[in-house]
Structure formats: structure tokens, C-alpha cells
Amino acid sequence: MKIEEFSPPDEGVEIKAEMMESWLNGRTIYSLSPKVMYDIQTILRHYKDIIVPGENVKIDYPNDDNGARCSVDNKKVYISTGHLEKGYVDETIGHMIHELNHIKMSDSERQTWATCYLMLEKVLDSLFVLEDPDDSESDYICLRELVMCDPAMSFDNLYSEDSEELKYGNFLRKALADIAFLLNAVEDIRIDTLCAYNLKKYINAGDVRVFSEWNKRYEEGEFNDNTLMNICYRLLFHHKDFIHDPWIYKVYGDKGKIVNSTPSQYTPIVLETFKDAIKDHVENLWGNVVEIPRFSFGSTAGDMYLGGMSESGNATLSDIAGGDSNIIERAQSDVGEIRFAESALRDPSQKKDGGAEFRMAQEQHSKPRIIGSPMMAAIHSFHKIQVYETKEKLSDNWGEGSPEVDYSVVVYDALK
């Protein structure tokens, strides 16, 4: 994935940095110079010490194509340059605080991936398509067998966007990411509610802006249908107290329960509560993303499908879990109780999915930008500046009243 280079906001762009400015004795920030970028990084490193003390978490600007995704598992947080480019300084700090709270409180990425994988497997196991779509007399085959019995099924092929090894890779990636989006919405409610009061104000800055964009469409009814993505946003804004959504209130309205439980406690409940929306969503994805293939059951395909399905499924799960039996067991307990009725795949629904569009726009909007080498060097040069405090006597008169002067010495340590 090629990422664009960061360019500081133009002069006309308002820098929204009210809270950041309070750190600078109220000095107004007019532009995002390397010095300001350095200050932002310094504040974030300070907050890191408060949120996850003792953890070695790296907070840096992305400077290559790989360096853009925050990672709970790798303890890395990349400053959201997409937001900075638009002048949203406070919001960027809020976003980073949010990511640090994920590191502190959330499941590992592998756990989420493993749980979502098993959930998707269950959904696909309940869906059946005609072997020959043009012949209604032909046999039905199970989508799970069709999609997941791919010999190329592996963690790497599933989770690297560029991999084209899997026949239905794009469908699988999208379905997995969207189930994860639901779990993430609940986790976001939990960690933002639990966030320390003095840090939460930064998070609110982003929430207020995104909500104002979202709410116009909500009021126009774009999110009324219970599609998975619509539910995610309504869930989020309902439990962040921006709206009162009667349906969310009815089916999953107990915020105290979300906040006072761990992911392992709430995940099975969330998946059970919204399982029909998840199944609908997967069906729609199949209908929209995948060109319905014409299956020809030659000998090779037949052999493939006959090969012990559950075995190959477990192998993929184990690969996703990195062989960690705790992750596998947790994923199994997350989805173990969930049951779906078997059904033939329906035509894509005509529900209005404002959530899917909104999410795409948001992702586009907050896409990371790489900091180019010259700017990176300029930002890092401020790390080399040290201020030493010292006292000095100005005379050798040891008598009373001998003057002692405080000095601050600024040292630029080029070797640092």
C-alpha cells in the first residue's frame, strides 16, 4: 500500500489546538512547524507514561509505507498524520490517547482476528448456494466449504491486503474486518468511558466533530435500517450519550454492563445480540463483492472439499492465533454458544447502509500520511536539545551575601 506524503496545512487552515496550547502558556499555534510537531510528540510521550507506565510503547510519526498502523500487539503507536494535515491537533492527541488505552485494556489483535474468524466460519456454515446458479434443480453447497477450504488459507494470506493467493480473499478480509468493527465499537465505548477525565477532553474533541457530520445524516434517516454498519455507529453514539436510539436501548442498552465487563465477558453477548445483522451483512457482501462463480465439480475440486474441513479450519485458526492455545480457547468460548439456522443465500437486501458509506469516508479522511525525511530530521533535531540547570557563584568572596546565580544552559547534543 502506497501512502501519500504529509504536507502541513496551508496558512488558511485553522489549527484546532486549544488544549495543546494550554501546555504552551496559551501561545497560539498558527502552523505545524517541525517544532510544533516535536511538541506534540513530547506531550504524547508524557501521556504514554501516565497511561501505560513501565511499558515500552513507541510513539512516532509514520515514515514509510509500513509505518502507519497502530499496533496493540507490537506496542507501536503512530501519530495520526491524516488528522494533523487538516489542523486537528487536539483531536490527534485524543486519537493517540485512545490508542494507548487500547494497548492498556484491549484484546490483542490476534485475539480479535481469531474470534472474528470463528464467527465468520459459523455464519458461512449456515449459508448455502446452488452449485449451478442457473439451475434451480442443482444441489446446494455450503459457503464455508466453498470459501474456507482454500488450500492457500493462512494467516498471511488472510491478513495481508496485497495477497492474491486466496480465491475469495477480498470477501474474507472485508467480512472479518466488518465483524471486528462491531467488536471494536463496543470496546471503544468501554475504553473511552473508562478514560481518565483529564485525558477524555481530547477524545471528546474528535467525537464532537465526527458526530456533527454523522448526525445530519442520522436525522435524514440514513442509518435507520439495522444493517451491521448502521448498528455500529448508532451503538457508538448512543452509548457515548450523543443520541438516544430506542432500538439500541432495547437490545443492548446497558452501558454499565459494557463498561464493567472485560472483552472476554461481553464478546459472546455482543456476537449473540447482533448475529442476525452479521449474517445479513455477510450475505450482502457475498452478493455484492463476489461475482457468483460457476462451480464445476471436477475431480480436483471434489477432492478439496472432501478433505477434512474441520481439520483445515482449525489449522487456519491456529495459524491466526500464532499457535497460542489461550487465544484459540477464548475464540471458541466467544462464539461457542452461537447458533444459526441454515438457509439458502438470499439476494442482497435493499436496506439503506449509510454506515458503510460513512465509514469509508472517515477512513479516507483519516488516512495516514508519511513524514518525509527532511521534515523527520527537523523534528528529531529537537530531541537533541537539552536544557541544564546550574548554579554559579560570581566571586570568591565566601562571606555573607555572596551572589549565587541560576543559569539555564541550552545544549545541542549532536551525538544524541
Return the number of the residue (90 or 188) whose C-beta is nearest Zn ion.
Answer: 188
Return the number of the residue (147 or 185) whose C-beta is nearest Zn ion.
Answer: 185
Of 102-121, binders to Zn ion (CB under 5 A) are: none
Count of other CB atoms within 10 angstroms of residue 331: 24
* 3-state DSSP percent of the chain in helix, strand and coil, to 5: 55, 10, 35
Rounded distance, CA 121 to CA 309, Å? 11
Return the number of the residue (107 or 188) whose C-beta is nearest Zn ion.
Answer: 188
State which residue has the least CB distance to Zn ion.
Answer: 188
- Shortest separation between residue 206's beta carbon and Zn ion, angstroms: 11
Rounded distance, CA 321 to CA 334, Å? 14
Return the number of the residue (40 or 189) whose C-beta is nearest Zn ion.
Answer: 189
Count of other CB atoms within 10 angstroms of residue 412: 10
Rounded distance, CA 261 to CA 94, Å? 23
Where on the phi/psi map is residue 45: left (φ > 0), alpha (ψ -120 to 50), or beta? Answer: alpha
Return the number of the residue (87 or 94) whose C-beta is nearest Zn ion.
Answer: 94
Q: Does 85 bind Zn ion (CB under 5 A)?
A: no
Look up cell 513501565; give the residue.
54
- Shortest separation between residue 364's beta carbon and Zn ion, angstroms: 18
Residue 279 C-alpha cell reads as 449474517
DSSP H/E element including 109 = helix 109-125
Near Zn ion by CB under 5 A, which window of 183-191, 272-280, 354-362, 389-397? 183-191
Binding mask 2-31 for Zn ion (x = CB under 5 A): ------------------------------
Helices then strands, each counted (H, E), the chain: 19, 7
Return the number of the residue (70 or 375) whose C-beta is nearest Zn ion.
Answer: 70
Among residues 78, 79, 76, which one has the least CA distance to residue 92?
79
- Shortest separation between residue 184's beta carbon and Zn ion, angstroms: 6
Return the number of the residue (187 or 222) whose C-beta is nearest Zn ion.
Answer: 187
Near Zn ion by CB under 5 A, which window of 182-190, 249-257, 326-334, 396-404? 182-190
- Shortest separation between residue 97's beta carbon and Zn ion, angstroms: 11
**DSSP conformational letter for 200:** H
- Shortest separation between residue 210's beta carbon and Zn ion, angstroms: 13
Sign of CA dihedral 187, 193, 198, 201: positive
Among residues 187, 317, 333, which one has the least CA distance to residue 261?
187
Q: Which residues are bridge partners to 406 per DSSP? A: 391
Q: Where are the alpha helices (DSSP H) in 354-398?
A: 354-365, 373-381
Near Zn ion by CB under 5 A, which window of 113-121, 167-175, 180-188, 348-356? 180-188
Return the number of the residue (114 or 203) whose C-beta is nearest Zn ion.
Answer: 203
Are residues 39 and 22 in contact, defined by beta-carbon separation less than 8 angstroms? no
- Shortest separation between residue 160's beta carbon and Zn ion, angstroms: 22
- Shortest separation between residue 106's beta carbon and Zn ion, angstroms: 8
Return the number of the residue (188 or 280) whose C-beta is nearest Zn ion.
Answer: 188
Return the number of the residue (39 or 188) whose C-beta is nearest Zn ion.
Answer: 188
Length of the chain: 416
- Shortest separation between residue 192's beta carbon and Zn ion, angstroms: 8
Max CA distance (Å), the chain: 110
- Shortest separation between residue 191's beta carbon and Zn ion, angstroms: 7
| Helix (H/G/I), strand (E/B), else coil: 225 | coil
Near Zn ion by CB under 5 A, which window of 8-16, 181-189, 262-270, 303-311? 181-189
**DSSP conformational letter for 27:** P
Binding mask 184-223 for Zn ion (x = CB under 5 A): ----x-----------------------------------
The site that binds Zn ion (CB under 5 A) totals a number of residues, namely 1
Return the number of the residue (150 or 188) whose C-beta is nearest Zn ion.
Answer: 188
Rounded distance, CA 91 to CA 83, Å? 7
Are residues 203 and 188 in contact, defined by beta-carbon separation less than 8 angstroms? no
Instruction: Tell me which residues touch Zn ion (CB under 5 A).
Output: 188
